[in-house]
Amino acid sequence: MTTYRHDGFVTTGARPFRYDSFPMRLFQKAKKLGVWDPADIDFTPDRELWLNEATEADRDGMLRIVSSFQAGEEAVTLDLLPLIQAVAQEGRIEDEMYLTTFLFEEAKHVEFFHRWFREVPQVDLSTLGELHSPNYRKIFYEELPQALGVLRDDPSPANQLRASVTYNMIVEGVLAETGYFLFDLGAQLRGEDIMTGMRQGIQKLRQDESR
């Protein structure tokens, strides 16, 4: 059986704890911005709009966009742990503390979108995966889990960089921002009061990811 042990801890003298480091500054920011509860959002107006005003085209478009967000948030929640483990194994406690905020926030986002599906469209959730396009599947079903999963076997700097680029730049920086743009566009075209619960949650997601 493999033996695991610690030879010391940063906070008790192994090396100076870097409070002024970049990841710790981001950690402080994340603590302030990430304090919200998906359970507090009221989806009653969204449900009323869904039943009384939304067209079939509106409903289809929302299901496609939100199902992509839902699965994407679950994917990053599932796949992020190897990156956290990689920096932990290198003794980078400051980076690890910052990355734990990612995992907490992504888990909140999973809850938020799942609540919307249960309380607004109230559709059969088992069919939502059918809405994911081949390109979407390529990224979230293959590229993301591969880029992060390989760190379990080879947490080299090159693989850590590839994992970070895939997660932070492609998934969060390109795909998520594109989705936010679509929500903003819908609000501009249909009025600021459209899907107020969803829009409130999206605002909180963007606040989280400003860290």
Distance CA 139, CA 16 (A): 39
For 75-118, how does the pLDDT look when each residue is reduced to its tens digit (9 = 90+)? 999 999 999 999 999 999 999 999 999 999 999 999 999 999 99
**Class (C level, CATH) for 39-209:** mainly alpha
Q: Can you give the residue ranges of every domain in the chain? A: 39-209
The stretches in the chain having pLDDT less than 50 are none
* pTM summary value: 0.91
Q: Give the model's pLDDT for residue 24.
A: 96
CB 179 within 8 A of CB 199: no
Q: Provide the 10 A C-beta neighbour count for residue 93.
A: 19
Q: Give the model's pLDDT for residue 158.
A: 98
Check residue 4 and report its DSSP letter: -
